[in-house]
């Protein structure tokens, strides 16, 4: 099994890179990528743990770009994690994340729901190169008793357009494709069925986008049919993975025989997998790319 979309404590995942690899191994996954938000800080430890476990780890990342003031997540694979321009770009992304979390914290004060923003920032700072974001804010809102769950924090306060939402500024999806290419990688638009910006895909394909994420926990069978067709028409490759964040799964698993919900798939490993031929095509595309200077 192949899972190319996984998060660790280097961003908003709940498992350390080593613990993630242990869970991945237990799930029977043999090729994985760690795709933390705007950071490669988890890759070294994950890579060591993966090779000890006989698992192949592909360098990965999920970069937040911005189109029309909305977030568009872009995945990168097979790039050089030591690329200096990439690392400088990511450092700026993370600095913007810290500023945004502080601004969200100020809004929450005005909304009568203060949280300990310094604790979030300090926890991030204690892990060099790690990134912070809204999930940590959501967990703090739960811990402070302002909401009952992370889900409620997003659905009432943090999601796009809600009272504690702070719009982001940042690079366009096309600029992020360039950043990934310049580091020697291949670029895939993450979970297009969640992002719902199909209008961007053709121009991005013309710009050199390599793939779209076809297999994803939040994609329905209809989404898969739709994006498989779109990828075929535009000559795009496909990527896929669970988007596992290590969130507690037990209470979310539906009782059989219900098909697993998107939440259950996100919170379990081994339910979403990229076919080997699709992986091989991504790898071949990367191999054909000039290595960065």
CA 245 to the chain's CA centroid: 9
51-54 long-range contacts (CB < 8 A, ≥24 apart) are 53/21, 53/22, 53/24, 53/25, 54/25, 54/30
What's the rounded Cα separation, in Å, for the pair 107 and 127?
A: 26
By beta-carbon proximity to ligand AMP, the closer residue of 39 and 64 is 64
By beta-carbon proximity to Mn ion, the closer residue of 140 and 190 is 190
State which of positions 149-208 bind Mn ion (CB under 5 A).
190
Q: Which residue is nearest to ligand AMP (CB)?
A: 133
Number of residues in contact with Mn ion under rule CB under 5 A: 5
Dihedral sign for Cα atoms in the order 282, 284, 286, 289: negative
Using CB distances below 5 to 8 A depending on partner kind, what does residue 30 bind out of Mn ion, ligand AMP, none? none
Q: Is 59 in the site for ligand AMP (CB under 6 A)?
A: no
Q: Is 96 in the site for ligand AMP (CB under 6 A)?
A: no
Q: Using CB under 5 A, pick the residue from 3, 210, 243, 247 that binds Mn ion.
A: 243
What's the rounded Cα separation, in Å, for the pair 273 and 224?
A: 13
Number of residues in contact with ligand AMP under rule CB under 6 A: 12
In angstroms, how far is the first alpha carbon of the chain from the final one? 33
184 sits in the region (left: phi over 0; alpha: psi -120 to 50; else beta) called left
Q: Is 99 in the site for ligand AMP (CB under 6 A)?
A: no
Q: Is 97 in the site for Mn ion (CB under 5 A)?
A: no
Q: Is 30 in the site for ligand AMP (CB under 6 A)?
A: no
Nearest approach, Cβ of 62 to ligand AMP (angstroms)?
Answer: 7
Q: Are the CB atoms for 136 and 9 separated by under 8 Å?
A: no
Q: Using CB under 6 A, pick the residue from 14, 70, 71, 252 that binds ligand AMP.
A: 71
Nearest approach, Cβ of 293 to ligand AMP (angstroms)?
Answer: 30
Q: Is 150 in the site for ligand AMP (CB under 6 A)?
A: yes
- Using CB under 6 A, which of the segments 52-60, 105-113, 132-140, 230-238 binds ligand AMP? 132-140
Q: Is 151 in the site for ligand AMP (CB under 6 A)?
A: yes
Q: Is 12 in the site for Mn ion (CB under 5 A)?
A: yes
Q: Which residue is nearest to Mn ion (CB)?
A: 73
Nearest approach, Cβ of 262 to Mn ion (angstroms)?
Answer: 13
State the residue for tokens 């204690």: 126
Q: What CA–CA distances, in Å, run from 269 to 5, 163, 182?
A: 11, 33, 31
Each residue 159-188 as x (binds ligand AMP by CB under 6 A) or -, in order, gives: x-----------------------------
Q: Using CB under 6 A, pick the residue from 79, 154, 157, 279 that binds ligand AMP.
A: 154
Q: Using CB under 6 A, pick the residue from 4, 9, 10, 12 that binds ligand AMP.
A: 12
| Residues within the interface to Mn ion (CB under 5 A) | 12, 62, 73, 190, 243
| Residues within the interface to ligand AMP (CB under 6 A) | 12, 37, 64, 71, 133-135, 150-151, 154, 159, 245
């Amino acid at each position: 099994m192949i899972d190319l979309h996984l998060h660790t404590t280097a961003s908003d995942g709940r498992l350390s890179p080593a613990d993630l690899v242990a869970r991945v191994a237990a799930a029977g996954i043999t090729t994985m990528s760690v795709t933390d938000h705007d950071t490669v800080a988890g890759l070294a430890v994950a890579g060591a743990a993966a090779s000890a476990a006989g698992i192949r780890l592909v360098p990965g990342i999920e970069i937040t770009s911005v189109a029309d003031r909305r977030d568009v997540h872009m995945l990168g694979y097979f790039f050089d994690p030591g690329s200096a321009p990439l690392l400088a770009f990511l450092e700026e992304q993370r600095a913007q994340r810290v500023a945004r979390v502080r601004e969200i914290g100020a809004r929450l004060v005005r909304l009568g729901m203060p949280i300990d923003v310094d604790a979030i920032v300090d926890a991030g700072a204690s892990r060099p190169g790690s990134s912070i974001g809204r999930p940590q804010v959501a967990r703090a809102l739960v811990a402070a008793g302002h909401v009952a769950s992370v889900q409620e924090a997003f659905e009432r306060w943090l999601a796009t357009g809600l009272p504690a939402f702070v719009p982001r500024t940042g690079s366009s999806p096309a600029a992020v494709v360039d950043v990934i290419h310049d580091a020697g990688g291949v670029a895939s638009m993450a979970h297009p069925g969640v992002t719902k910006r199909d209008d961007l895909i053709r121009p991005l394909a013309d710009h050199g986008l390599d793939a779209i994420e076809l297999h994803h926990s939040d994609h329905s069978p209809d989404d898969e049919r739709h994006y498989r067709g779109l990828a075929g028409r535009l000559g795009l490759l496909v990527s896929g993975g669970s988007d596992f964040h290590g969130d507690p799964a037990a209470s979310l698993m539906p009782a059989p025989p219900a098909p697993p919900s998107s939440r259950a798939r996100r919170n379990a490993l081994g339910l979403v997998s990229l076919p080997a031929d699709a992986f091989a095509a991504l790898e071949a595309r990367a191999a054909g790319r000039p290595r960065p200077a």
